[in-house]
Amino acid sequence: MKAPRTIVGMSGGVDSSVAALLLREAGEPVAGLFMQNWADDGSGDCRAADDRRDAVAVCGRLGIPIHFRDFSAEYWQEVFEHFLAEYAAGRTPNPDVLCNREVKFKHFLDAARELGAERIATGHYARIDGDSGDWRLLRARDRDKDQSYFLHQLGQSQLAATAFPLGELPKRDVRAIARDAGLPTAAKKDSTGICFIGERDFRSFLARYLPARPGEIHTPDGRVVGEHPGVFYFTLGQREGLQLGGVRGFAPAPWYVVGKDVPRNVLVVDQQRDSRWLMSTTTRTEAAHWIAGAPPARRFACTAQTRYRQQDQACEVAVAADGSLEVVFAQPQRAVTPGQSLVLYRGDICLGGAVIAATDTPAAEAAAGKLRA
């Protein structure tokens, strides 16, 4: 039997199902592959078995073969251990970015080639154009679903061997195509959040790996207003979970996380959503990844996103000798969070990005000992 030219990553969701359908209808020799990226931890919250059944059902409906690979060990070593280390350091990592780089577009691509395929396809909402040695990652036509933010760590060799069949389609059309084709995933709810946590409570999940370390909650001027269960359970700008009711001497207004002093185990909060302690204009990053292989210049203007689905933010970028970036925004930015990804764009073209290392918020500088009261 001739090996298929394209292997589709079948997640058990509607997007990958329609990606496989579109390729098959275009006459592409195609097969599916279901990736097991998280070992069942016995909690009952892992949906992998259900997703696998749905992937098998879709491939059966389409009349294409399906393969299975267990990448849970690779995921643990290359994604989850980093995730835990970042949270322990008080940062907020983005495991989806690492999963794409290390698992879906490395181990999955290698597995597809071992099966004799030339390329892979996924249900991501993004586009690729260009030719040999000059491939570009573009935003999806449906900006509300665009996932190029999570794909910014891909390089030329990966883009050359990848297809995104849904890049030109709005989500409503994808569901209509699945429904018209009678695919069993047509009405399946989209997965949200971090894949290995699923529907369970984030804090209780993290507590299994990072034991609670209670400490004080301070205002920016050092007044104690409460106690937290662990600074790593919180992220900048967060309002939920602080359990701060009426605090004597303060207005009955919501509290927001504006800083984390990890060495002192102190969580810093303020009552204004757009507190000056959350606002920054300059962001510094770790070494950047460039989709083209190199930055467009040592200094250039573009737009950036510091979180998924953020509107384009105008900025000036300076590339340091070590590859790190200093990004100065035209307007102050709220809750730019170390550990998250800063992704750069020119129009629909994704240039690349980097992990956020630090900002110039008053809270960040105070925690670093650079600000004196």
Known active-site residue 195: yes
Q: What is the pLDDT of residue 371?
A: 38
Give residue 338's identity as a one-letter amino acid code: P
> What is the predicted pLDDT for the residue at 372?
39
What lies within 8 Å, CB to CB, of 201 at 6+ separation is none
Question: Which pLDDT score is estimated for 373?
Answer: 39
Size of the chain in residues: 373
Q: Could you give the residue ranges of the DSSP H alpha helices within the chain?
A: 14-25, 48-62, 72-75, 81-88, 95-99, 108-114, 156-160, 171-180, 202-207, 362-367
The whole-number pLDDT of residue 366 equals 65
Separation between Cα atoms, residue 138 and residue 118, nearest integer Å: 22
Number of neighbours of residue 169 by Cβ within 10 angstroms: 20
Active-site residue identified among 46, 195, 315, 350: 195
Q: What does the pLDDT read at residue 207?
A: 87
In the chain the beta strands, taken as DSSP E runs, fall at 6-9, 30-36, 66-70, 119-121, 126-131, 134-139, 162-163, 215-218, 224-228, 256-261, 266-270, 279-285, 289-290, 299-305, 313-319, 325-334, 341-346, 349-359
Taking the C-alpha atoms of residue 79 and residue 74, their distance in angstroms, rounded to an integer, is 8
Ordered per-residue pLDDT tens for the chain, 373 residues: 567 999 999 999 999 999 999 999 999 999 999 999 887 655 555 578 889 999 999 999 999 999 999 999 999 999 999 999 999 999 999 999 999 999 999 999 999 999 999 999 999 999 999 877 799 999 999 999 999 999 999 999 999 999 999 999 999 999 999 999 999 999 998 876 666 666 667 888 888 898 889 999 999 999 999 999 999 999 999 998 898 878 888 988 899 999 999 889 999 999 989 999 999 999 999 999 999 999 999 999 999 999 999 999 999 999 999 999 999 999 999 999 999 999 999 999 999 999 999 999 987 776 665 433 3
Kindly give the pairing relationship between strand 266-270 and strand 215-218: parallel
Write down the pLDDT at residue 111: 97
In the prediction, which pLDDT does 286 show?
A: 98
Report which residue type is found at 260.
K
Domains and CATH numbers, the chain: 6-180 (3.40.50.620), 202-270 (2.30.30.280), 277-367 (2.40.30.10)
Q: What's residue 368's pLDDT? A: 63
Residue in 59, 99, 315, 350 annotated catalytic:
99
Rounded to 5, what percent of the chain is helix, strand, coil? Answer: 25, 30, 45
100-106, Cβ contacts within 8 angstroms, sequence gap of 24 or more: 100/150, 100/151, 100/153, 100/154, 101/153, 101/154, 102/74, 102/75, 102/78, 103/35, 103/37, 103/71, 103/74, 103/75, 103/78, 103/79, 104/9, 104/35, 105/154, 105/158, 105/162, 106/158
Neighbours of 132 (CB within 10 A): 7
**pLDDT value of residue 3:** 78
The sign of the dihedral angle between the CA atoms of 22, 24, 27, 28 is positive
Nearest-angstrom CA–CA distance, 359 and 370? 12
